[in-house]
Structure 1
Amino acid sequence: MIEPVKQIIEDEHYGEDSLLVGVLASACVGILDSGCYVTRGKVFASSQTGNLLYLGIDISNGDFSQILKYTFPVLLFVIGVVLGTHFQMHDKRKGWRIAPALCEIVLIIIASLLPLSWNALANPLFGLVCGMQAIAFRRIHHIPLATVYLNGNLREAVERLVKYIHLKDNDDLYRFILSVILVFVFLVSVTIGAFLSRLIGHYVTLIAAVCLSIDVYFLYKAKKSA
């Protein structure tokens, strides 16, 4: 266990692909998900599977009043993926993720300041943010790991642990530790977001903008030192 941990610490020099950047991005999504769910009508910011689940259940119950509530966040998430891919394809320079991250920050601030009566607009905007992040923040130490999809990281953690038990390859243990860290950070940030929602209401999602702002600082710093 010690050797992979030492390697993770040494590999933090990757800068824009650092674990710190990934942790902050994952915390951002956890705050958004819990904030939206608790304060804005039980709609998820990143978990479009959950939104589609609610939509399907409502349809099966003959309740068609919630179709737009759950459909628009999914559609805006898709558009976010398109925009994130556009940034990735048209800017091959180091630090390309700064632009989509800044867009995400602006969108989070706008959506967070919208009153609860405007949830029909705020929730899709958060979905747009998470769609962009699904492309912009999905590598840690040059390894494909998501800061948006919890299921993928959970699967990766279990798969790598099983492989390590059988093959004793430190690379599998290395990836297991990274995946577990992201899952843990997401869980903690969701818990914190839900708790703070009771204190500051829907403004809790502004904390996600703070997390991404710190990420932008690190991304810019890595770009300047390249």
Structure 2
Amino acid sequence: MQNEGLEYEKELVYLTCERNWVFYTLMTVAGFFGAYTYLLRGNVFCNAQTGNVVLMGLALGAGHWSKALYYLIPISAYLFGAFVSELLPNLVKHNFLIRWDTLLIAIEILAVLVLGFIPDSYPVQISQIMINFIASMQYNTFRQAEGVPMATTFATNHIRQIGVGLAKELKHLKTKNKSHRERLSKHSKMLVFFIAGAVIGTVFCNIFSGRAIWVTVIPFAVVFGVLLHADLTVEKEFMEKKPLGH
């Protein structure tokens, strides 16, 4: 067993929670969330906060003070998600023998189950704030896919990185330097998976309305099962190893 552990350690460049397929899966779910909140929960995108900050500025500029104060709620939920996800990792792995990354996926599954039970007639802010919170924790937790910085909740940076990669492709067209292609490929795939998630989300939201969110339990459950297995078996001895970017 000790020899097996040593062999695995030699091969353990990246933890399971850093694997590309995990990021692609979470990105697909993020696209689904985008479709869900836009179509059914107030025509907004809750995976990031740029829109809410702009809307708060517009409200302040127009003198709509109460409306401006409202936007502090989703912004604060997002801020609190980052705060919590920064404090809990060490506490979780030292007391529950699993990684924070694994526990977070379980929390997201629970949140999704609750969201599906919320009637469409209820205030959309309930769903918005819950997704603000879990999206922030996910963004702050899953940071690098096999050494490449990635965002798993929105597409803006991936679009930028694709542009950068295409520019490098042009600059190195007549050289043998193709080191940029790995990043270009990853960012392109992340964008494709995000779009795929939005397409799937649109289809299911139109069919099942608010309960469509339960579809995301399936990819979340797959990720959770694999991460939990890694924590309790092959990566049990490497609990102190931090994912890159942390």
The CA distance in 1 between the partners of 2:177 and 2:90, in whole Å, is: 34
Q: Is the 1:76–1:127 contact (alpha carbons within 8 Å) kept by the matching residues of 2? A: yes
Amino acid at match of 2:82: V
Task: Map 1:14-53; keep pairs closer than 5 Å.
Answer: 15-53=16-54
1:160 pairs, out of 138, 160, 165, with 165
Amino acid at match of 2:222: I
Alpha-carbon deviation of 1:118?
3.3
Task: Map 1:171-182; keep pairs closer than 5 Å.
Answer: 171-182=179-190
Q: Is the 2:162–2:184 contact (alpha carbons within 8 Å) kept by the matching residues of 1? A: yes
- Listed one character per residue, the Cα deviations across residues 68-99 of structure 1 (whole Å, up to 9, x for unaligned) are 66442222111111111123454578743101
Larger mean CA deviation between 51-60 and 202-211 belongs to 51-60
Amino acid at match of 1:186: F
Q: What is the match of residue 132 of structure 1?
A: 137
The CA distance in 1 between the partners of 2:229 and 2:170, in whole Å, is: 38
Alpha-carbon deviation of 1:216?
0.8
Q: Is the 2:89–2:99 contact (alpha carbons within 8 Å) kept by the matching residues of 1? A: no
Q: Is the 1:27–1:185 contact (alpha carbons within 8 Å) kept by the matching residues of 2? A: yes
| Secondary structure class of the residue paired with 2:45 | coil
- Cα distance change of structure 1 residues 185 and 69 upon mapping to structure 2, 3 Å threshold: farther
Amino acid at match of 1:194: T
More helix by share: 1
The CA distance in 2 between the partners of 1:64 and 1:204, in whole Å, is: 35
Q: What is the match of residue 4 of structure 2?
A: none
User: Is the counterpart of residue 183 in structure 1 residue 188 in structure 2?
Assistant: no
Q: What is the match of residue 234 of structure 2?
A: 225
Q: What is the match of residue 219 of structure 2?
A: 211
> Percent identity among equivalent residues?
19
2:178 pairs, out of 170, 176, 196, with 170
Structure 2, unaligned runs of 5 or more: 1-11, 236-246
Alpha-carbon deviation of 1:12?
11
The CA distance in 2 between the partners of 1:112 and 1:198, in whole Å, is: 14
1:104 pairs, out of 102, 108, 111, with 108
The CA distance in 1 between the partners of 2:13 and 2:205, in whole Å, is: 33
Alpha-carbon RMSD across the aligned residues, in angstroms, is 2.7
Aligned residue pairs total: 216
2:146 pairs, out of 129, 141, 146, with 141
The CA distance in 1 between the partners of 2:149 and 2:93, in whole Å, is: 18
TM-score, normalised with respect to structure 1: 0.82
Instruction: State the structure with more CA Rg.
Output: 2
Alpha-carbon deviation of 1:142?
2.5
- Listed one character per residue, the Cα deviations across residues 137-163 of structure 1 (whole Å, up to 9, x for unaligned) are 222112211111311122122223322
